[in-house]
């Protein structure tokens, strides 16, 4: 990995080469190692090292972006020159004011040596342990163990100088036997915090419990959604409306609703990259120090996240949620947290006369985004609950439901929460018992 001093020196040289009124340079460095296994053997085992340099050049109200993965002098000249040339060709963007300024971000300890040095042999040893336990139960193990080192340096000509280095370890395991399957996952900056035994045993237990699944008719059911299933609902809610871009354009379910009730009063959702369990980065991709943001509080819509562009447009302050400069999606909350309830999973099951327990959802997509209505199937462990206990496995079912409606019908929530990574977003989520949840097939 490139040392902090070296990374900073590269970007300082780049800033000096720029002819723009304002310049921003972002250096993203990633060293990724991944072992994938299927049917009890390692079938894919890879390593990738790359560094990407993003240049944003501002000429008045014109902004150009260029990207390279070279960091030599000629690369710096070209990427900064390209960004300036693009800006020169544009018309003014009336909503652009300036690149941001920001105080130094809070120091976050994100680097763990034992994660960084976790070797191919270490990964193979973990997989061997999983496979051994699965074989004992005549089960097949499929999954991935990923180790990442990441460095992020952001500078701009207005004085922003931010640096972060972090590690991340992620294990996802699907165990299966014939058509039965179970699943569990774990993510942490410290590989030693990944509970290999617990993940393996959880997946195996779900697989064994999924024997002889029965078919249930579509209709309205009480559901108990495990943490990963709730996280999928939150992820898609975030896509629809927790960023300032859709909010300002009026496409968000939050638009025109600030201060109004939009979910049940037991739902509080915050964006909190500083939570200990969260592998958050303390500043965004334009170097603005991140803030904790309350999105929904006791069911009331409170706010959305901003980058500098949309903050200016809405006369707000950036909350530090810019994505990389070459994406068109606007700001997004990448570390969402739901306030826990005071129940246990056992209590939720015990209180349910008839319902369905869902481990996770598969391939969710929008059916009607205006109504936050989505569809997807249950996956890797779906069970019928009757008279307070799990009665039988159930064949996967397709749900079709409004997320806001689901969050308006939450009867119970778990005290315990789990870290749930999905599509680059990491959430910290309780399990939920939700009434009147609709399965369409």
Partner 1 sequence: MIDFDRISEVALNQTKSLGATYADLRVVHTRDESIRMKNGIPELIDRSESLGFGIRVIVRGCWGFASSCDLNPENVNRVSQLAVKIALASSKVKKNDLVLSPVEKIVDTYQTPIQIDPFKISLKEKLTYLLSLYDLTKKISGLRSFESFMDFREQKWYFASSGGSKIEQRIIQSGAGISALAMRSHREMGRRSYPNSSGEYQTRGYELIEMLKLEENSERVAEQAKALMDARTCPSGIKTIVLDGAQVSLQVHESIGHPLELDRVFGAEKNFSGTSFATVDRLGKLKYASDMVNVVTDPTYPSGLGTFGYDDEGVKAGKSYLIQNGVLVGYLTSRETASMIGKESNASMRAEDWGDVPIIRMTNTNLLPGKHTLTDLISEVDDGIYMETVSSWSIDDNRESFKMGTEIGWEIKNGKLGEMIKNPTYSGNTTEFWNSCDGICNEKHWKVWGTPNCGKGQPAQNMRVGQGASPCRFRKVKVGE
Site for partner 1, residues 90 to 149, rule: CB under 8 A = 90-91, 93-95, 119-121, 123-125, 127-128, 131, 140, 142-144, 146
Q: Judged by CB under 8 A, which stretch of 2-10, 296-304, 345-353, 394-402 contacts partner 1?
A: 394-402
Q: How far apart are CA 15 and CA 24, in angstroms?
A: 7
- Told to check if 318 binds partner 1 by CB under 8 A, we report no
Q: Judged by CB under 8 A, which stretch of 37-45, 220-228, 276-284, 349-357 contacts partner 1?
A: 37-45
**Residue 246, φ and ψ in degrees, nearest 5:** -70, -30
Neighbours of 425 (CB within 10 A): 17
Q: How far apart are CA 258 and CA 307, in angstroms?
A: 19
Closest approach, Cβ 342 to partner 1, in A, equals 33
Closest approach, Cβ 104 to partner 1, in A, equals 28
Q: How far apart are CA 144 and CA 129, in angstroms?
A: 13
Between 396 and 408, whose beta carbon lies closer to partner 1? 396
Between 35 and 162, whose beta carbon lies closer to partner 1? 35
Q: How far apart are CA 66 and CA 17, in angstroms?
A: 14
Q: Among residue numbers 152 through 181, which ones bind partner 1 (CB under 8 A)?
A: 172-174, 176, 181
Q: How far apart are CA 270 and CA 298, in angstroms?
A: 11
Q: Which two tokens stand for residue 62?
A: 């014109």
**Residue 240, φ and ψ in degrees, nearest 5:** -75, -30
Between the alpha carbon of residue 382 and those of residues 225, 305, 377, the distances in Å are: 10, 35, 10
- Told to check if 215 binds partner 1 by CB under 8 A, we report no
Closest approach, Cβ 38 to partner 1, in A, equals 5
Q: Judged by CB under 8 A, which stretch of 101-109, 322-330, 346-354, 426-434 contacts partner 1?
A: 322-330
> What is the number of helices (H) and of strands (E) in the chain?
10, 17
Neighbours of 362 (CB within 10 A): 12
Q: Among residue numbers 331 through 390, which ones bind partner 1 (CB under 8 A)?
A: 362-368, 370-371, 375-377, 379
- Told to check if 32 binds partner 1 by CB under 8 A, we report yes
Closest approach, Cβ 272 to partner 1, in A, equals 25
Name residues whose C-beta falls within 8 Å of residue 105's C-beta, 6 or more positions apart in sequence.
Answer: 162, 164, 282, 283, 289, 290, 320
- Told to check if 66 binds partner 1 by CB under 8 A, we report yes
Q: How far apart are CA 345 and CA 413, in angstroms?
A: 8
- Site for partner 1 (CB under 8 A): which residue of 3, 9, 12, 39? 39
- Told to check if 192 binds partner 1 by CB under 8 A, we report no
- Site for partner 1 (CB under 8 A): which residue of 51, 189, 321, 417? 51
Note whether 256 and 246 are within 8 A (CB). no
What does DSSP assign to residue 423? T
Closest approach, Cβ 336 to partner 1, in A, equals 20
- Told to check if 303 binds partner 1 by CB under 8 A, we report no
Closest approach, Cβ 6 to partner 1, in A, equals 14
């Amino acid at each position: 990995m490139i040392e902090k001093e070296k990374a900073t020196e590269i970007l300082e040289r780049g800033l000096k080469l720029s002819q723009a009124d304002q310049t921003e340079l972002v250096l993203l460095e990633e060293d990724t190692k991944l072992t994938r296994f299927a049917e009890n053997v390692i079938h894919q085992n890879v390593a990738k090292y790359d560094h990407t340099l993003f240049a944003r050049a501002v000429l008045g109200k014109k902004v150009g972006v260029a990207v390279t993965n070279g960091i030599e002098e000629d690369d710096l000249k070209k990427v900064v020159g390209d960004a300036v040339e693009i800006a020169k060709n544009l018309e003014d963007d009336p909503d652009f004011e300036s690149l941001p300024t920001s105080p130094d971000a809070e120091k976050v300890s994100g680097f763990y040596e034992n994660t960084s040095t976790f070797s191919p042999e270490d990964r193979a040893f973990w997989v061997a342990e999983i496979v051994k336990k699965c074989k004992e139960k005549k089960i097949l193990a499929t999954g991935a163990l990923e180790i990442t080192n990441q460095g992020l340096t952001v500078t701009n000509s207005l004085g922003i100088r931010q640096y972060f280095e972090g590690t991340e370890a992620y294990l996802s395991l699907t165990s299966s036997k014939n058509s039965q399957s179970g699943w569990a996952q774990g993510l942490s900056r410290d590989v030693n915090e990944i509970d290999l035994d617990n993940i393996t045993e959880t997946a195996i237990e779900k697989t064994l419990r999924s024997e002889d699944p029965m078919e249930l008719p579509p209709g309205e059911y009480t559901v108990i959604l495990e943490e990963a299933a709730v996280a999928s609902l939150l992820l898609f809610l975030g896509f629809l409306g927790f960023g300032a871009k859709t909010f300002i354009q009026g496409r968000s379910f939050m638009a025109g609703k600030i201060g109004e009730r939009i979910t049940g009063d037991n739902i509080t959702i915050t964006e909190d990259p500083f939570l200990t369990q969260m592998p958050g980065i303390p500043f965004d991709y334009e170097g603005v120090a991140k803030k904790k943001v309350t999105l929904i509080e006791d069911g009331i819509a409170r706010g959305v996240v901003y980058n500098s562009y949309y903050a200016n447009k809405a006369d707000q302050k950036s909350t530090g949620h810019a994505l990389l400069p070459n994406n068109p999606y606007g700001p997004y909350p990448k570390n969402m947290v739901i306030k826990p309830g005071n129940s246990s999973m056992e209590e939720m099951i015990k209180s349910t006369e008839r319902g369905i327990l869902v481990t996770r959802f598969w391939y969710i997509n929008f059916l009607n985004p205006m109504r936050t209505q989505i569809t997807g199937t249950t996956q890797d462990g779906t069970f019928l609950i009757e008279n307070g206990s799990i009665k039988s496995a159930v064949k996967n079912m397709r749900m079709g439901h409004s997320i806001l409606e689901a969050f308006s019908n939450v009867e119970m929530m778990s005290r315990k929460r789990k870290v749930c990574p999905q599509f680059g977003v990491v959430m910290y989520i309780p399990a939920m018992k939700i009434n009147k949840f609709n399965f369409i097939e």
